[in-house]
Amino acid sequence: MRCVRCGKDTPYRSRPKDERCSCGEPFAFEPKYRHPLADAAFAAAIDRVSAGGSLRWLPVHLYYEVCRRIDRRRLLHRRVVPIDHAGFDRLWSRWTGAHGWPPTALADDDALTASPTQLPPDVADYAVDRAVVTDSDATLRLLLANNFHVDNRCAVLTVGGEPSGVSEAVLAMLRRSEQLTVLALHDASVAGSTMASRLLFEDQWFRDLVADGTATVVDLGLRPDQAKQFRACFLRTDQRPASDAILSKKDHRWLSRYRLELAAVLPATLMGRLQRTFTAPIGAVADAFAGPVAGGDGDDGFG
Amino acid sequence: MASLLRWRERLGAFRPPAGHVVTPAPGRLAVPAGLSLRPVGRIAGAAWAPGGMAAVGAFRACLGATAETLVVEGRPGAVSVRRVSGDSDDGCAVPMVADWDACWLDDRPVRSLLDWWSIVGADCLASVEGAFALAWLGPDGAVHLARDAPGERTLYYAPVGGGVLFASTIHALIATGRVDRVVDVVGLASYLSCAYVPGSRSLVEGVREVLPGEQVDIRPASIRCRAFWRHPGDETTGTVSLQSERLARERLRVYLERAVARRLPTISEPVAATLSGGIDSSAVVAIARRLHDGPLHTYAASFGARYPNELAYSSLVATHCATSHHIVEMTPKAVLRNLDAVVSLLSKPIGDPLTVPNAVLFREASRQARIVLNGEGGDPCFGGPKNLPLVLAQLYAGVTPGHERFSWERAYLRVHQKAYDDLGRALAPDIAAVLATGLLEESLHPYFEDPRWSTLVNRLMEMNVVLKGAHHILVKVDQISAAFGVLGRSPLFDRSVMEQALSLPPQMKLRGSTEKYILKQAVADLLPRAVVDRPKSGMRVPVEGWFAGPLGRHARERLLDGLAPSGLIRRDYLLDLLSTSEHRYRRRRGVKIWLLITLEAWLRTVLAAEPPVRSSTATNRP
């Protein structure tokens, strides 16, 4: 078992009772008996999720990466998660207890309420041409913590109106744009499958802008047809899609059984995909009348 | 501060990478060894320095023939002044030296040092427009330094052992041997964040730069800095009517024409101009064509067939304005090969790859003309891509983690999109510890608290002008053009143009997503529609992909063998940057690698340089 600090390998027979490497660094896990992963594998998962320490992330993102690794290690080849959230939480507290909170990890209990900051009067003159709307608070936090909004000059919101205190001002700036691109990002779930059409058809969102051609809504996912790219990340659900939902039979069946969270996508992959969609010319316009809400430019690139 | 690094101690460990010696080679930029070839000379001076004579000697050796030196010796009450010019030691007509170009007081050109002397005597520096840097002795024995409001010329100064040294270039100060070659760590962090060193700090500890529009009064016990000219601000933010827009447009056009006219020669000699095809340089060329009788040569840089769009626009304007157009082709390899030569000209490093193409264009232009116009100033005065990201950063500041104090300042540094977010990982631990207290962010704080500005757009534009304009763009133009004996002139940085641009209501500059709206309107009749309507452009050097191929090897040598031993940047950060692993998000490694190899080149060619050797029989250069 390799130590995460000094790299020395301590075989099982030599592992002391106090569960430490000879350099003093504790071991969080004992894979022979109790835990699904060794420290080195957990550290590798953190390295992957943080893109080598260059990105911030939430524990839920690590959860899915750990699920993938456990599935690989046990040769399960399953779609569904091998451990549940509670099981991961236990692993996570063992890890932080032994090695401390990783510097790139974010706490997921910060409030999302922004106190309206002192803004100069001419903010009213700005128009923002890009927006990412998501149904996942975790995704919102991820993007903001990594300054995605600053680097890509785009607004970030949830359908629930987070961050509260800011979303009204931001929506006003979006409405001022002469050519708005909205990327919809949601879980592959019953609620998520309706999100893009909400953006297209609800007055409080972009119905009028889409109607007069100044706004384009692109549904990047996650959708059931993209789910096959994910291994060991499905959650089970007992929800059913609404009876009037516009879904194919396959999608309907999938959504009745499973749920796939956005957090299953690696942060680097997610942000890279968003960026590429913003900078590439938009190939397919989201057309709600062409069956299920159309995807992006046909190349999904998730998972 | 014991934690600061002494450069000299590390000189032994630090050897230049093989193959990067700056010698002339076929096709290589041969930058003349003297640092001053242009018509009006550089400044060097020493005041109250014990052993002043030796310091003066070192200045002259470093600066070349046309340096002018003011030496003040003695104590207050018993002060004598000598003005030394070139190799001769003439009598002191007025105790003043000046480095100036195309200056006007109201409607009359400034012609001589005597004019300057009466200007400072009458305390009306604020009424002078044009490029100038002055040093003079006041009646009470104080030494005064002054720099023009946009910052087209500059002065560096360093208090040393009871006196002060000052010069137009940091090279001169270092060459005296009286300035310790210690890296200023806040300057270093600024450089990594902005790709230049804003404000009065330099990359050398103890050496300061005069700020634009500032006068520095140096007395034995104190150094006082005060602004002799500041923009009044934008107190009134009225609504914009069609009427006011038309008036603004017409007035801007008048100022633009005057700005170009004042920078053209009075006779019909050939004039050169850089022409990227963007609205800024195109506007300058179009106006110059109207006002100038003689030949007009335009120059554009090309990086090969992969980037035809830029050339199409510049050629379109060149044809429209009937200029002699020259396209200068450069390969990435050529740019890298000439990096050392160009960086060695700069008093503070500038990590913008454009410096090398700029230098090559100046060299080409020097074959045809002695005056080179450019379109610099359009972005700082009329547009600027940084505004929107900054607004977004501030809107969300309450939500993002780590939003304690200095949120505006952090956002401002971050939107430069250089290495600000990497500072903690990149800098040596002792330097990072010094900066963790917020010194870098704190230095920007006064700009965000300035009560003169009520609109964000104008506040940021003024910051752009006084920071990026005065410490990056204009010094780059000055220091590189001087080496080739040409006068680089920037009409869009004309003080009247700048003053009006900053006073305009934000809606005239940012109309929806169209930037530089009012500038485009003011010159719309002079240029083809395609150029006016073109979206945001600008000369960009495509570095992102450069270091994947053979240039990567050069970068590796420079960074690992050259920069890492300096103890400023962590070796593991450099290794990580050089690795080609795909497993990273948006690293912008090309930009960062360029930033760091420029730093290495500057440290090697400027900070660690030996002063050039001059023989006693060397003749004056013209």
DSSP letter for each residue of B190-248? HHHHHSS--SSB-SBTT-EEPPTTEEEEE-SS-EEEEES---------PPP-HHHHHHH
Which of A127-136, A240-249, A282-291, B230-239 is modeled with the greatest confidence? A127-136
pLDDT band at B131 (very low <50, low <70, confident <90, very high): very high
The residue written with tokens 């779609």 in the block is: A79
The string of DSSP codes covering chain A is: -B-TTT--B--GGG--TT-B-TTSPBPS--TTTT-SS-HHHHHHHHHHHTTTTTS-B-HHHHHHHHHHHHHHHTT---SB-SS-HHHHHHHHHHHHHHH---TTBPPTT---PPPPP---GGGGG----EEEEES-HHHHHHHHHTTHHHHTT-EEEETT-PSTTTHHHHHHHHHT-SSEEEEEE--BSTTGGGHHHHHHH-TTTTHHHHHTTSEEEEEEE--GGGGGG-SS-BEE------TT----HHHHHHHHHEEB-GGGS-HHHHHHHHHHHHHSPP-S---TTSSSPP-SSS-----
Segment B291-305 shows an average pLDDT of 88
**Helix residue spans in B455-550 (DSSP H):** 456-463, 474-483, 495-503, 517-522, 529-532
A169 in contact with B at a CB cutoff of 8 Å?
yes
Taking 60 as the threshold, does the pLDDT of residue B305 lie above it?
A: yes
Model pLDDT, residue B17: 27
Give the pTM: 0.82
Segment B569-597 shows an average pLDDT of 83
Model pLDDT, residue A5: 80
Model pLDDT, residue A292: 29
Question: Distance between CA A82 and CA B518 in Å, rounded?
Answer: 61
What residue type is assigned to position B254 of the chain?
A: V
Question: Distance between CA B107 and CA B100 in Å, rounded?
Answer: 17
Structure tokens given for A269: 């992959």
Segment A21-49 shows an average pLDDT of 85
E strands, A45-101, in order? none
A281 in contact with B at a CB cutoff of 8 Å?
no
What residue type is assigned to position B579 of the chain?
A: S
Q: Select from A185, A188, A182 the least CA-distant residue to A134.
A: A185
Model pLDDT, residue A296: 33
The residue written with tokens 């009065």 in the block is: B200
A110 in contact with B at a CB cutoff of 8 Å?
yes
**Helix residue spans in B504-563 (DSSP H):** 517-522, 529-532, 551-556
Taking 90 as the threshold, does the pLDDT of residue A169 lie above it?
A: no
Length of chain B (residues)? 622
Find the CB nearest A55 among B395, B425, B585: B585
Instruction: Kindly identify which residue of chain A lies nearest to residue B387, measuring between CA atoms.
Output: A126
- Restricting to A residues 182-221, those with a Cβ less than 8 Å away from any Cβ of B are none
Structure tokens given for B316: 């379109």
- Restricting to B residues 395-424, those with a Cβ less than 8 Å away from any Cβ of A are 395-401, 407, 411, 414-415, 417, 421
pLDDT band at B596 (very low <50, low <70, confident <90, very high): very high
* Tally of CA atoms within 13 A in the half-sphere of A53 that contains its CB: 11
Model pLDDT, residue B446: 92
Percent of chain A's residues with pLDDT above 90: 35
Question: Distance between CA B200 and CA A287 in Å, rounded?
Answer: 56
How near does any CA of chain B get to the CA of A120, in Å?
6
Model pLDDT, residue B583: 55
User: Which residues in chain B have Cβ-Cβ distances shorter than 8 Å to A151?
Assistant: 389, 417, 586
Please state which of the ranges A242-246, B94-98, B539-543 shows the lowest mean pLDDT: B539-543
Model pLDDT, residue A293: 30
Q: Select from A267, A271, A273 the least CA-distant residue to A106.
A: A267
Please state which of the ranges A101-115, B466-480, B515-529 shows the lowest mean pLDDT: A101-115
Model pLDDT, residue B229: 94
b/e map B226-242, b = 16+ CB within 10 Å:
eebbbbebbeeeeeeee
A285 in contact with B at a CB cutoff of 8 Å?
no
Percent of chain B's residues with pLDDT above 90: 39
pLDDT band at B334 (very low <50, low <70, confident <90, very high): confident
Taking 60 as the threshold, does the pLDDT of residue B365 lie above it?
A: yes
E strands, chain A, in order? 130-134, 155-158, 180-185, 215-221, 235-236, 258-259
How near does any CA of chain A get to the CA of B400, in Å?
5
Angle at B435 between CA B430 and CA B437, to 5 degrees: 115
Q: Count interface pairs A-B at CB distance under 8 A.
A: 117
Question: Distance between CA A74 and CA B493 in Å, rounded?
Answer: 67
A48 in contact with B at a CB cutoff of 8 Å?
yes
B456 in contact with A at a CB cutoff of 8 Å?
yes
Model pLDDT, residue B139: 79
Taking 50 as the threshold, does the pLDDT of residue B23 lie above it?
A: no
Contact A51, B585 (CB under 8 A): yes
Model pLDDT, residue B536: 65
Cis peptide before A222 (omega within 30 of 0): yes
Model pLDDT, residue A294: 29
Model pLDDT, residue B263: 96
Structure tokens given for B235: 């107190």
Segment A114-138 shows an average pLDDT of 77
| pLDDT tens digits along B248-285 | 899 999 999 999 999 999 888 999 999 988 899 999 99
A106 in contact with B at a CB cutoff of 8 Å?
yes
Strand partners, B204: B183
Contact B471, B199 (CB under 8 A): yes
Find the CB nearest B513 among A127, A144, A166: A127
C-alpha distances in angstroms, B538 versus A88, B11, B309, B472, B523? 50, 39, 11, 16, 18
Segment A109-133 shows an average pLDDT of 71
Please state which of the ranges A189-198, A260-269, B340-349, B385-394 shows the lowest mean pLDDT: B385-394
The rounded mean pLDDT for chain B is 80
B425 in contact with A at a CB cutoff of 8 Å?
yes
Please state which of the ranges A165-179, B226-240, B407-421, B519-533 shows the lowest mean pLDDT: B226-240
Contact B147, B155 (CB under 8 A): yes
Q: What is the CA radius of gyration of chain B?
A: 24
Segment B176-181 shows an average pLDDT of 82
Please state which of the ranges B21-30, B298-307, B485-494 shows the lowest mean pLDDT: B21-30
Please state which of the ranges A63-77, B6-20, B520-534 shows the lowest mean pLDDT: B6-20
Taking 80 as the threshold, does the pLDDT of residue B466 lie above it?
A: yes
